């Protein structure tokens, strides 16, 4: 049976799984942004927290994903079988690139610009929202893009703990030694990853300073 044939015959299941996949990635990336961006900002204000926080995020990132899903299952409140546990794991995965890029982006703002802002009587909050955030938005968005693309891939494994998503096809295909089925999960997942990468990349270019202005950021 060809791939197209399979997908069209099982289109309801295919669409359901795709939707589940998108929800897993969208929810987890969204939550990771809500946690990661403020945390990255905090690190620029309390540099001493940098190494422990980034180190912890690094540990999550380097834990094999299947193991991370498995380890979370027995956890109270956040654990168990299903989408909630998968989203927690995906958030942990997405945190590192978002925290790191927020931190690096703001740290990368020209010190002279920051000094001028402070010297003109901007409060820390005004400096952050009028100067630092706009100037580092492109870098932060790049971190979100990396997080989302990683998330699409890792979310296929969420099927292993009953969270659904396109991984269901892949695991079924592996169990049945059926390459068509594996591809039925893998190709749409790869397409979602590419689409997310493309869309967020365009957004990033729109918000990044124009080349001339970028040079200005580096060497006012």
Partner 1 sequence: MSQNQPVAVEFQNVSLRLTDDHPIVADLSFDVRDSEILVLLGRSGSGKTTTLKLINRLLVPSNGRVMVEGVPTVDWDATRLRRRIGYVIQEVGLFPHFTVAKNIGVVPTLERWAEDRKRERVRELLDLVGLEPGLFEDRYPSELSGGQRQRVGVARALAADPPLLLLDEPFGALDPLTRVELQRELKQLQARLSKTMVFVTHDVREGLHLASRIGLFQKGALAFLGSPKEFLHSDHPEARAFVAGLEEAGETP
27, two tokens: 């929810």
Residue selected from 8, 123, 179, 191 as contacting partner 1 according to rule CB under 8 A: 123
Pick 55 or 111: Cβ nearer partner 1: 111
139 lines the binding site for partner 1 (CB under 8 A): no
Q: For residues 88 and 19, give the distance between their C-alpha atoms in angstroms, rounded to a whole number.
A: 18
Please, what is the minimum distance in Å from the beta carbon of residue 116 to partner 1?
3
How many Cβ atoms are within 10 Å of 180's Cβ, its own excluded? 16
Interacting span for partner 1 (CB under 8 A) from 39-47, 122-130, 169-177, 187-195 = 122-130
152 lines the binding site for partner 1 (CB under 8 A): no
- Exposed / middle / buried, residue 121 (Cβ in 10 Å: 0-12, 13-18, 19+): exposed
Torsion sign, CA atoms 72, 14, 28, 197 = positive
Residue selected from 115, 195, 202, 206 as contacting partner 1 according to rule CB under 8 A: 115
Pick 5 or 115: Cβ nearer partner 1: 115
215 lines the binding site for partner 1 (CB under 8 A): yes
- Residue 134: closest CA among 73, 208, 39, 184: 208
The H or E element containing residue 103 is: helix 83-107
Interface with partner 1: number of residues (CB under 8 A)? 25
- Residue 141: closest CA among 214, 178, 213, 196: 196
Pick 198 or 207: Cβ nearer partner 1: 207
Please, what is the minimum distance in Å from the beta carbon of residue 213 to partner 1?
5
212 lines the binding site for partner 1 (CB under 8 A): yes
120 lines the binding site for partner 1 (CB under 8 A): yes
- Residue 110: closest CA among 136, 86, 129: 136
Residues that bind partner 1 (CB under 8 A): 110, 112-123, 126, 130-131, 134-135, 209, 212-213, 215-217, 220
């Amino acid at each position: 049976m060809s791939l197209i044939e399979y997908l069209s015959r099982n289109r309801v299941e295919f669409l359901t799984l795709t939707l589940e996949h998108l929800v897993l990635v969208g929810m987890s990336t969204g939550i990771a942004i809500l946690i990661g961006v403020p945390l990255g900002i905090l690190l620029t204000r309390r540099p001493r927290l940098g190494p422990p926080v980034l180190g912890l995020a690094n540990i999550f990132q380097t834990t094999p994903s299947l193991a991370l899903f498995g380890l979370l299952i027995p956890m109270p409140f956040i654990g168990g079988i299903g989408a909630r546990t998968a989203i927690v794991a995906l958030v942990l995965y997405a945190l590192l690139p978002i925290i790191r890029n927020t931190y690096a982006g703001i740290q990368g703002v020209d010190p002279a610009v920051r000094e001028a802002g402070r010297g003109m009587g901007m409060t820390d909050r005004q400096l952050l929202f009028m100067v630092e955030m706009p100037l580092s938005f492109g870098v932060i968005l790049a971190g979100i893009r990396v997080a989302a693309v990683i998330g699409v891939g890792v979310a296929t494994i969420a099927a292993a703990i009953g969270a659904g998503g396109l991984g269901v096809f892949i695991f079924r295909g592996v169990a049945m030694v059926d390459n068509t089925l594996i591809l039925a999960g893998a190709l749409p997942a790869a397409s979602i990853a590419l689409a997310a990468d493309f869309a967020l990349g365009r957004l990033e270019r729109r918000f990044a300073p124009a080349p001339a202005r970028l040079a200005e950021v580096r060497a006012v």
